[in-house]
Copies of this chain bind each other. A is one copy, B any other.
Amino acid sequence: MSTEVPPRGRAPVPRRPARLTSQLLAARAAYVLRGNDLGVMTSAAPRLYPHMWSWDAAFVAVGLARLSVPRAITELDTLLGAQWGNGMIPHIVFSPEATGYFPGPERWGCHLGVAGAPPFPATSGICQPPVHAVAAQRIVEAARRQGRTDRHAAGEFLDRAWRPLVAWHRWLAERRDPDGTGRVVLHHGWESGMDNSPRWDGPYSRVVVGPDLPPYRRRDTDAVGDPSVRPSDREYDRYLWLIEEMRRVGYDDAAMHAAMSFAVEDVLVSALLAVSCDVLADLGEERGQPAADVTDLRGWSARFRRGVAESVDPGTGLARDRDVRTGEWLATATVAGFAPLLCGGLGRAEEARLLALFESDAWCGHPGLVAAVPPSTSPAVDGFRAREYWRGPQWPVVAWLFHWSFARRGWAERAAVLREEGLRLVGAGDFAEYYEPFTGEPLGSMQQSWTAAAVLDWLC
C-alpha cells in the first residue's frame, strides 16, 4: 500500500451517494407522486403526513401538471372543495381514509358545526401561504403545451376556480389585514408553513398555555427517528393552546384578531399574497374574468408589495415580521427576510443589496454548503441549527419558490442557477422534506410529495 492512500484501518471517507441521471430522477419523482396519490388528493408524504396540506397541494399540482393536467386540476378542485365560507382555504384537508394524525379533525373540531367550515371533508381551522394562484398558472401553462383537451380543461378549471381563488385572496387581504398595513397577520406559526422557525420564538415565548389545555398524545415523532429534528413538547403545548383559543371563539376572524395570544405579521406570506394576486389577475385578464375582481387583485398586490418593502430592516436589508401584540419588529435572519425578492417593490439599490446578501457567504454562497440554495436560517447566526425543522436545513420547495420567482422577475440566469443547485441538493433521489446543508443528508420524511413536484417542474 502506498503512503498516498488512506492507511489501512482508517475508514475511507464514504463516497457521496451517486447522483441519479436526470431521467431517472424525474422517473422516481413521478413514481413518488403517483405513489402518494389517494385518488382525488395526494398525501403530503407516505407516512408522516397522510392528509392534504394546503400549500403542499399547490406545489403538488405544479408537479402533477407536467404528468397529467386533469389530475393536477383535480388536486386543486379537491382543495377548493374544502374552502370555508369566509374564503379561507384550510391548511389541512383530512383524508377520510387515514387516521392517526395528530392533531386530527376532533382536536380542531371545525367540521362539528363551526360556522362556514365544511362538514365534509373535515379540515383544520387555520390557513397556509397563498401559492395556489401559482399552481393555477403552472397548470394553464402546462396545458398550453398539450393538446386541445388539456387546454380546454384548464380553461374550464380557471372559470370555476376564479371565484374561490379571489375569495381566498380577499379573505387574506380583508380579514387578515383589516388595518391595511400590507402585511398578513397569522395566528399560529403553522400558518406560515415554516412551523417552528426561529421567526416565531419571541411571539411563542409570550404565549401562556392555559391550565385547561386538554390532554393529547403527539404522533409527529412516531415516524421520524430522531426527535431532535422535531419541536419539543413544550413548544407543542403552545401549538395546541393556540388551537384551543381559536376553538373557544368559534374560529371567528374578528374575535381572533382581537384576542389571540399569537398575532404576527408574516412578511413571506405577505409577499406571496402580493405576487399571487398579480398572477391571478394576469390569468383573469387573459380569460376575461370580471374587471372588478382584477382591479381588487391589483390593489391588494400593490398594498402587500408596499407592506413588505416597508418592513425592510435598514441595517441588514432583510424584510422583517412583526409581533402585533408587542409592536416590535422580528429581525431573525431567516429565509423569509428575502421576501421582497419574490414580490418586488424595493428600490434598485436596495434590491441589489438584498440580492448580494442572498448570494453572499452568509447565505447561498456559504462555502460549506453542498448546494447553493438558501438555508431556512442563515448559517452565520447563532440560532442556526443544521438539522432542526426550519432552523437551518434547506427545503427544496423553498428553492423552487425562489427559482420560480426569479424567473418571473426576469432573472433567468439566477433562476437557472437555483434550479441547478436545487437539483444538486436532491440528486440522490430521496425526495426528502429537507436537507442538512453541510452534508446533504436527507431529513424529515422521505418521498415527500412537494419535493418530488419541485423536481418534476425543474426537470420536465
Contact = CB atoms under 8 A, between A and B. Distances in A.
A12 interface: yes
A107 interface: no
Interface stretch (A28-36, A43-51, A300-308): A28-36
Contact of A4 (B18, B27, B409, B438): B438
Nearest to A138: B413
A139 to B, nearest CB: 11
Interface stretch (A210-218, A380-388, A394-402): A380-388
Nearest to A380: B1
A141 B13 CA distance: 25
A438 to B, nearest CB: 7
A151 interface: no
Contact of A285 (B348, B370, B382): B348
Nearest to A458: B23
A316 interface: no
Interface in A314-360: 348-349, 352
A297 to B, nearest CB: 13
Interface in A364-381: 366-370, 379-381
Contacts of A460: 21, 23-24, 27
Interface residues of A, number: 67
A25 B412 CA distance: 21
A260 interface: no
Contacts of A381: 1-2
A89 interface: no
State the copy count for this chain. 4
A5 B407 contact: no
Interface string A42-83: 000000000000000000000000111000000000000000
A73 to B, nearest CB: 16
A130 interface: no
A114 interface: no
Nearest to A63: B27
A370 B12 CA distance: 11
A417 interface: yes
A85 interface: no
A370 B5 CA distance: 13
A456 B13 contact: no
B367 A15 contact: yes
A4 B410 contact: no
A415 B417 contact: no
Contacts of A408: 410, 412
A413 B404 CA distance: 10
A324 B262 CA distance: 68
Nearest to A455: B27
A6 B380 contact: no
Nearest to A285: B352
A10 to B, nearest CB: 10
Contacts of A67: 27-28, 31
A12 B352 contact: no
A160 interface: no
Contact of A410 (B13, B35, B141, B410): B410
A442 to B, nearest CB: 13
Contacts of A366: 5
Interface of A: 1-2, 4-6, 12-15, 17-19, 21-31, 33-35, 37, 66-68, 141, 144-145, 147, 285-286, 348-349, 352, 366-370, 379-387, 392, 404, 407-410, 412-413, 415, 417, 438, 456, 459-460
Given A4-B386, A26-B27, A27-B29, 20 more contacts: A1-B380, A2-B384, A2-B385, A5-B368, A6-B438, A15-B370, A18-B145, A22-B22, A24-B459, A24-B460, A27-B459, A27-B460, A30-B30, A31-B33, A31-B34, A31-B68, A285-B352, A407-B407, A408-B412, A409-B410
- Give 3 nearest A-B pairs by CB, closest first: A407-B412, A27-B30, A34-B34
